[in-house]
Structure 1
Amino acid sequence: MTSPAPSSVLTPRWTRLRFHSTQRAYWTSPHRFNTVPAGRRSGKTEQAKRKLVKAALRGTRFERPRFFAGAPTRDQAKRIYWDDLKAMIPPELLMGRPSETDLSIRLVNGSEIVVIGMDKPERVEGQPWDGGVLDEFANMKAHAWAANVRPALSDRQGWCDLIGVPEGRNHYYDLDRMARAEMQAKGAASEWGAFTWTSAEILPPEEIASARRDLDELTFQQEYEASFVNFEGRAYYGFTEALNCARLAYDPARPIAFCFDFNVDPGVAVVCQEQRLPNGQDGTGVIGEVYIPRNSNTPAVCRKLAADWGRHTGRVICYGDATGGARGSAKVQGSDWDLIRQELSPVFGDRLAFAVPAVNPSVRGRINAMNTRLRAGDGTVRMMVDPARAPHVVKDLEGVRLLTGGAGEIDKKADPMLSHISDALGYLIAKEFPVAEPGRIGVGRTVGLY
């Protein structure tokens, strides 16, 4: 089946789509509110864009119909919706130029479409809305729907589609379960509808196979099979001693990585080198660590690194927390990255380099990248730890837990001595081997160990 056309004057941006039955059911949904958890790159956002434009072209009984396209941040919303919405509306139906400042589009029939960031959900308040879409809803603030969006739809009995990929069993899971129960009980009369489909129903088999190789099993289920995966339990479920522990080689001429997580109790660092692993795969070898249990600081960690690895002749690349150690030595001595440079530059000279992101990856993104490196969905292991040289890394990978009932956040209180050294390792893995996060498709490698 192909998508229906709301007008005979559509722009070339309205390419033909192939719908399967569930997508058709969503397109023609009689329900006022719809939850649409679906796999990555499976067409849910494209359908939502078309529903928005169709609704704006058709108008409502109100003099100035208003519709919104929302995403977790303004930049995300703009990147996902803005250019496409402008391209989908015929120029002769526009009331002047779209506002690049307000991200709003006015139509000659009085309708308006506004692109909104939901990092401040109160942005939707103050004026009534006829309808809208909340994209990547699982990554929005849990209270945004009930406290901000739903009340703003009341005056005009507006509609809303809540779409995106699941993100653990959080507020999106709860709302989708409620929607499914109501639709099952009331059928077409239900105010809520619920629709889901997987990426495999749209994408070619070879792309699905590639994704399965590149993602750990649970992340693949979430991102491509639209499953509300329960991430409770071990954070690094990809790690097993049998598959991920071995005696590893060290080449003093090849680059090594120093990975930092700025902390006092314990003070930690991880040492890694890309190498041919004992299983025959090219991957990341954890070949050393620093672990100072009490009263540590960044200079002390660096001095231990210099003592253990000062004879290294290859490049040394530093990875770590982008915040620069706000809770550590930086309070009185300058940024932790400045301290690292002061301590290690005399040892390694111009062979010392830094690969620090402007902002930290999300915790869930970092954990996903770690698990994928530890064991991908097809069983491939691309990270191993030398347990004799890095015993605390092994202890962390086995022991770090996730918050019960959370959406994949680390439980920092379960054991205060855990999580810091695996966090340090995670900064390297998330930067060099990232798993695409919501709104980011095709994230590539950075410079560093290559």
Structure 2
Amino acid sequence: MSNDLYVPREHQARIEAELGRFAVLVCHRRFGKTVLSVNRLINAARETRRDDWRGAYIAPLYRQAKTVVWDELKRYCGFGLDGCTVKFNETELRADFDNGSRIRLFGANNPDSLRGMYLDGVVFDEVAQMPLRVWTEVIRPALSDRKGWAMFIGTPRGKNALYEIWEKGKTDPDWLAAMYRASETGILPVEELEASAREMSPEEYEQEFECSFTAAIRGAYFGQLLADADREGRMTDVPADPSMPVHTAWDLGMSDSTSIWFVQARPGGTFAVIDYYEACGEGLDHYARILDDKGYKYGTHIAPHDIRVRELGTGKSRLETARSLGIRFDIAANIPIQDGINAVRTILPRCWFDETRCAPGIEALRHYRRSFNDRTADFSTRPIHDWTSHAADGFRYFAVGFRQPEPGPRPARSANNYNPFGDTHARD
């Protein structure tokens, strides 16, 4: 793969020689992964024999795609140079080639904008900041009939979508899975890495330059508490107790995601978090069917205070719509977000999570974080609103809205990490 304006480095050239249909590349900062992937799209668009070839570059946010990728795409297409035959649509962030091919930029924060299209090639950039379902539910089906390819690039931010795709890629012969650490590539000078290590925390350096999936997430609200739960064996198999009610806590999205936590309050003041569900763009009737399909014996349903707001189209509130579907909500108190976050911190040490059914929700809680302001060198007082927000908000409404039993002694745990909620044992 070549471009007159692009000369691949040693590692980039090696990747290009080994690329198959699917690839996941975990790379340190300043590796050149964006340039590599942009040029893969450009060359595929130019070399195809199809006159309707379609490619996509997907960043976590639409504005990120515009800020980071758009100028690079125009540059390597030859924008402003004599002989450039590519036309650029600034409104749609789309490049139209003279052979009929197109490359367009998208944001993963609006999955619905990606539905209904077909794709021949797609690049996911900074996958660690995206929900996995953008790939599994939306993009993977869009590649099927065209047998299109996909490339995932990014730097770790804990065990999330990038980690899951990395783990899959390592064991699938149809995938290229490669990791490039700064200490091994030689791209950045040793003195620059040493200077970065002095300025950054060890966790930050391990994550950004050594591609560590287990380094702490900067600004995470619940990261340490969830690490404690993992270490103490509270991330395990937690079956529902059929003799006890299942309580639900919801974050209700309008045009974006709705999340539901399923929790049982157990003797001794502990909570068994047995299930989690999230979907996007669905009405309340969809979630009512999900409750029925789960088959639990329900107790309290907890919703945010804005469920009382009347919708312009119907004149009815979602509270009224839910009641007509047989769901009667208790309303969580409308308290400051920080107070709600503190309430979550209070109950997390008493929570046991089903690690399989709750996996997407757990990862969202693990990555729910404050933004860092480089100008003031301090963290924001408010959380970042991204794919983690819906699960975190739903859990916050549970912590605030559920009438908790009187705290009792924590369940006794034997040396083999006995799980008091089932016959299984917690993993080591």
TM-score between both structures, scaled by the size of structure 2: 0.52
The answer to whether the aligner puts 1:18 opposite 2:9 as a matched pair is yes
| Counterpart for residue 177 of structure 2 | 194
State the distance in 1 between where 2:195 and 2:226 align: 22
Relative to 1, partners in 2 of residues 1:408 and 1:215: Cα closer, same or farther, differing over 3 Å?
farther
**In the TM superposition, what is the alpha-carbon distance from 1:175 to its structure 2 partner?**
1.5
The answer to whether the aligner puts 1:77 opposite 2:65 as a matched pair is yes
| Counterpart for residue 211 of structure 1 | 196
Larger radius of gyration: 1
- The aligned amino acid for 2:182 is S
Relative to 1, partners in 2 of residues 1:62 and 1:214: Cα closer, same or farther, differing over 3 Å?
same
Relative to 1, partners in 2 of residues 1:33 and 1:328: Cα closer, same or farther, differing over 3 Å?
same
State the distance in 2 between where 1:161 and 1:110 align: 22
Relative to 1, partners in 2 of residues 1:213 and 1:148: Cα closer, same or farther, differing over 3 Å?
same
Query: What is the DSSP-based 3-state SS (H/G/I as helix, E as strand, rest coil) of the residue aligned with 1:122?
Result: helix
State the distance in 2 between where 1:134 and 1:410 align: 22
Please identify, of 81-90 and 120-129, the stretch whose mean Cα deviation from structure 2 is larger.
Answer: 120-129
CA contact under 8 A between 2:52 and 2:100: conserved in structure 1?
yes
Equivalent position to 1:90, from 67, 78, 83: 78
State the distance in 1 between where 2:214 and 2:133 align: 21
State the distance in 1 between where 2:335 and 2:194 align: 44
* Deviations 1:170-224 (CA, angstroms, capped at 9, x unpaired): 1221211111011xxxxxxx32110110134211112211221222222211111
State the distance in 1 between where 2:367 and 2:181 align: 30
Relative to 1, partners in 2 of residues 1:233 and 1:125: Cα closer, same or farther, differing over 3 Å?
closer
CA contact under 8 A between 1:167 and 1:407: conserved in structure 2?
no
- The aligned amino acid for 1:171 is A
State the distance in 2 between where 1:411 and 1:50 align: 31
- The aligned amino acid for 1:19 is E
- The aligned amino acid for 2:36 is Q
* Deviations 1:76-132 (CA, angstroms, capped at 9, x unpaired): 011111011111113566556311001001011111110111111232222211101
**In the TM superposition, what is the alpha-carbon distance from 1:227 to its structure 2 partner?**
1.6
**In the TM superposition, what is the alpha-carbon distance from 1:136 to its structure 2 partner?**
0.4
* Deviations 1:42-86 (CA, angstroms, capped at 9, x unpaired): 111111111111111112x32211111110011001111101111
State the distance in 1 between where 2:212 and 2:139 align: 25
Relative to 1, partners in 2 of residues 1:130 and 1:233: Cα closer, same or farther, differing over 3 Å?
closer
TM-score between both structures, scaled by the size of structure 1: 0.49
CA contact under 8 A between 1:400 and 1:410: conserved in structure 2?
no
| Counterpart for residue 229 of structure 1 | 214
State the distance in 2 between where 1:149 and 1:199 align: 31
| Counterpart for residue 158 of structure 1 | 148
- The aligned amino acid for 2:2 is A
State the distance in 2 between where 1:162 and 1:30 align: 12
Query: What is the DSSP-based 3-state SS (H/G/I as helix, E as strand, rest coil) of the residue aligned with 1:70?
Result: strand
**In the TM superposition, what is the alpha-carbon distance from 1:234 to its structure 2 partner?**
2.6
State the distance in 2 between where 1:120 and 1:40 align: 26
Relative to 1, partners in 2 of residues 1:234 and 1:210: Cα closer, same or farther, differing over 3 Å?
same
CA RMSD of aligned residues (A): 3.8
| Counterpart for residue 125 of structure 2 | 135
**In the TM superposition, what is the alpha-carbon distance from 1:327 to its structure 2 partner?**
4.4
Q: How does 1:11-410 map to 2 (within 5 A)?
A: 11=5, 14=6, 16-20=7-11, 23-59=12-48, 61-90=49-78, 97-182=87-172, 190-200=173-183, 201=185, 202-229=187-214, 231=216, 234=224, 327-328=334-335, 406-407=362-363, 409=365
Higher strand share: 2
CA contact under 8 A between 1:135 and 1:163: conserved in structure 2?
yes
State the distance in 2 between where 1:138 and 1:173 align: 8
State the distance in 2 between where 1:42 and 1:407 align: 26
Relative to 1, partners in 2 of residues 1:90 and 1:43: Cα closer, same or farther, differing over 3 Å?
closer
- The aligned amino acid for 2:55 is F
State the distance in 1 between where 2:117 and 2:367 align: 40
Equivalent position to 1:433, from 377, 401, 415: 377
Query: What is the DSSP-based 3-state SS (H/G/I as helix, E as strand, rest coil) of the residue aligned with 1:196?
Result: strand
**In the TM superposition, what is the alpha-carbon distance from 1:431 to its structure 2 partner?**
6.3
- The aligned amino acid for 1:229 is T
State the distance in 2 between where 1:140 and 1:113 align: 20
State the distance in 1 between where 2:371 and 2:120 align: 43
* Deviations 1:214-268 (CA, angstroms, capped at 9, x unpaired): 222222111111121164963699xxxxxxxxxxxxxxxxxxxxxxxxxxxxxxx
* Deviations 1:344-383 (CA, angstroms, capped at 9, x unpaired): xxxxxxxxxxxxxxxxxxx9xxxxxxxxxxxxxxxxxxxx
- The aligned amino acid for 2:212 is S
Relative to 1, partners in 2 of residues 1:66 and 1:329: Cα closer, same or farther, differing over 3 Å?
closer
Any stretches of 5+ residues in structure 2 without a counterpart? 217-221, 228-332, 385-428
Relative to 1, partners in 2 of residues 1:116 and 1:205: Cα closer, same or farther, differing over 3 Å?
same
State the distance in 1 between where 2:336 and 2:116 align: 45
Please identify, of 38-47 and 426-435, the stretch whose mean Cα deviation from structure 2 is larger.
Answer: 426-435
State the distance in 1 between where 2:152 and 2:189 align: 26
State the distance in 2 between where 1:160 and 1:125 align: 16
CA contact under 8 A between 1:95 and 1:107: conserved in structure 2?
yes
State the distance in 1 between where 2:365 and 2:374 align: 16
- The aligned amino acid for 2:10 is F
| Counterpart for residue 306 of structure 2 | none
CA contact under 8 A between 2:207 and 2:215: conserved in structure 1?
no
* Deviations 1:114-156 (CA, angstroms, capped at 9, x unpaired): 0111111232222211101000011012211100110111121
CA contact under 8 A between 1:74 and 1:116: conserved in structure 2?
yes
CA contact under 8 A between 1:94 and 1:108: conserved in structure 2?
no
